[in-house]
Amino acid sequence: MAAFQTLDDLGDIAGKTALVRVDLNVPMAEAEVTDDTRLRAVAPTIRELSAKGAKILLLAHFGRPKGAKHSELSTSMVIDALTEILGREIMFVPEIAGAVVKQSIGILADGDVAVLENSRFYPGEEKNDPELAKAVAANGDIYVNDAFSAAHRAHVTTEALAHLLPAYAGRAMEAELKALEAALGEPEHPVAAVVGGAKVSTKLDVLTNLVRRVDHLIIGGGMANTFLAARGVKVGKSLCEHDLVETANGIFEAADAASCTIHLPYDVVVAEEFKANPPVRTVNVHEVSDNEMILDIGPAAVEALADVLKTCRTLVWNGPLGAFETPPFDAATVSLAQTAAALTREGSLTSVAGGGDTVAALAHAGAKDDFSFVSTAGGAFLEWMEGKALPGVEALKTQSRKQG
Ligand code: ADP
Ligand code: MG
């Protein structure tokens, strides 16, 4: 499928300068990185380019400075953590273009690494300004994009640079695109999708895209309540978007037309209060009382869904099946995640998942490491599930066409 170039396509880059877009946007507390997952993810690309003798200039955004300098949002904040992961010294360059960057390149030896300042300190970055792009590109020989998580943005460092320099997908980007292609591009059928989470309204485009692409659409979480309401179920005090009942009916119809089976729970776990370990009942969906709310799908539904997954070759998962942060409403998510993990281990299922809360839920279930691929990309992952073209990915493709 690779319509884009990867690091396998690099020629001799010894002594050349590589502008490498990475995701350094890690959570911090008291000037310490609290989760270095994203830094670890880009290490293989940096090491590979370094081993090939390139001078590596890392480009990244950090937080939302909105085009102005804020010292607490400087990319220099992550240098210590990145130094530790790479096991080598890293230079900090307080600009992304111009003479300061050029001088820094003169100081770097082949294989050395520098972090450039937060790209979003420059108003041109988020405007995809061609002048800023030219100025940044002037200091590089090649461009590598290893930040899938920023690929839904058409910014200078994610999009424009790919048109100005020979452009390559880094290893993390390549892995992400391969996994997503295997899950929804040209997947092995039958394909199941699990969509959960709080609200239908945030995932309408996801649902609309999926019914056309998958064989089984499993709906859980708060959003299942809206679909149950559309089927005439009384959902009591549950989170439910009653104004979207017609929309839900439209999705049922689209699914029918596309021969996609929609799975809704037939039993649910309900409570009168949303708190940890309250008195709960497990009931048929038609037995929810007015003063109760649905906070998880029930064990019979989970068992049936596990049987569906056993017949499938591919699974894509976004959104927890219940309010998993609050016990015992994590039960369905944990159980189905463990089933998916086991099927993946056995080799019968390719499983891809993404979404902030989904990643946390799979980790909580001890299932994350067994999934074929877990995306930490957030917004970019969702836009991909919506079937949208991502500007950062499209730009890499255009570039490789141009070069034949
Ligand atoms: P992601 O971040 O993986 O895309 P979402 O943000 O869409 O997922 O949804 C996650 C949230 O949905 C969680 O905070 C979870 O508690 C909530 N949720 C799931 N099921 C229910 C439910 N039945 N009632 C209320 N909230 C729910
Ligand atoms: Mg979320």
Taking the CA of 223 as reference, the closest ligand is: 1
Q: What is the pLDDT of residue 260?
A: 98
Tell me what pLDDT residue 174 has: 97
Q: For residues 150 and 145, what is the distance between their CA atoms, to the nearest angstrom?
A: 10
Instruction: Please report the atom of ligand 1 found closest to the CA of residue 360.
Output: 3
- For the chain, first and last CA: distance in Å? 15
Query: E strands, 158-225, where?
Result: 167-169, 191-195, 216-219
Query: Does residue 170 have an active-site annotation?
Result: no
Stretch(es) of the chain classified as CATH 3.40.50.1260: 7-170+389-403, 187-371
Residue nearest to atom 16 of ligand 1 (CA): 323
Report the alpha-carbon distance of residue 203 to residue 198 in Å, rounded. Answer: 9
Q: By the 8 A CB rule, do 61 and 25 touch?
A: yes
- Which atom number of ligand 1 is nearest to the Cα of residue 199? 7
**What's the pLDDT at 156?**
98
Distance 284 CA to ligand 1 centre (A): 21
Greatest alpha-carbon pair distance for the chain in Å reads: 73
Pair 382, 376: CB distance under 8 Å: no
The confidence score (pLDDT) of residue 378 equals 86
Number of the ligand 1 atom closest to the C-alpha atom of 197: 9
Ligand closest to Cα of 196 equals 1
Tell me the mean pLDDT per 10 residues along the chain, length 404.
86 98 94 92 97 98 92 95 97 98 98 98 97 98 98 98 97 96 94 95 94 97 97 97 96 98 98 98 98 98 98 97 98 98 98 95 98 93 95 88 54
- Judged by its nearest atom, the ligand closest to the C-alpha of residue 292 is 1
Whether 404 is a known active-site residue: answer no
Pocket of ligand 1 (CB under 6 A): 196-198, 202, 221-222, 239, 294-295, 318-320, 322-325, 355-358
What atom of ligand 1 comes closest to residue 224's alpha carbon?
Answer: 23
Count CB-CB contacts under 10 A for residue 34: 10
Q: What is the pLDDT of residue 314?
A: 98
Q: Which CATH superfamily is domain 7-170+389-403 in?
A: Phosphoglycerate kinase, N-terminal domain (3.40.50.1260)
pLDDT at 315: 98
CB burial of residue 70 (10 Å; 0-12, 13-18, 19+): middle
What was the pLDDT predicted at 404? 41
Q: Write down the pLDDT at residue 403.
A: 56
Closest CA to ligand 1's atom 25? 222
For ligand 1, atom 8: residue with the closest CA: 319
207 Cα: distance to centroid of ligand 1 (angstroms): 15
Domain 187-371: top CATH class? alpha beta
What pLDDT, on a 0 to 100 scale, did the predictor assign at position 398? 78
Q: Can 379 be counted among the known catalytic residues?
A: yes
220 is catalytic: no
Pocket probe for ligand 1: among 274, 352, 357, the residue whose CB has the most ligand atoms within 8 Å is 357
Question: Cα(319) to centroid of ligand 1, in Å?
Answer: 6
**330 phi and psi, to 5 degrees?**
-95, -5
pTM of this structure: 0.92
- Ligand 1 centroid from CA 14, angstroms: 48
**CA nearest 347: which of 140, 123, 188, 157?**
188
Q: Can you give the pLDDT at residue 402? A: 59
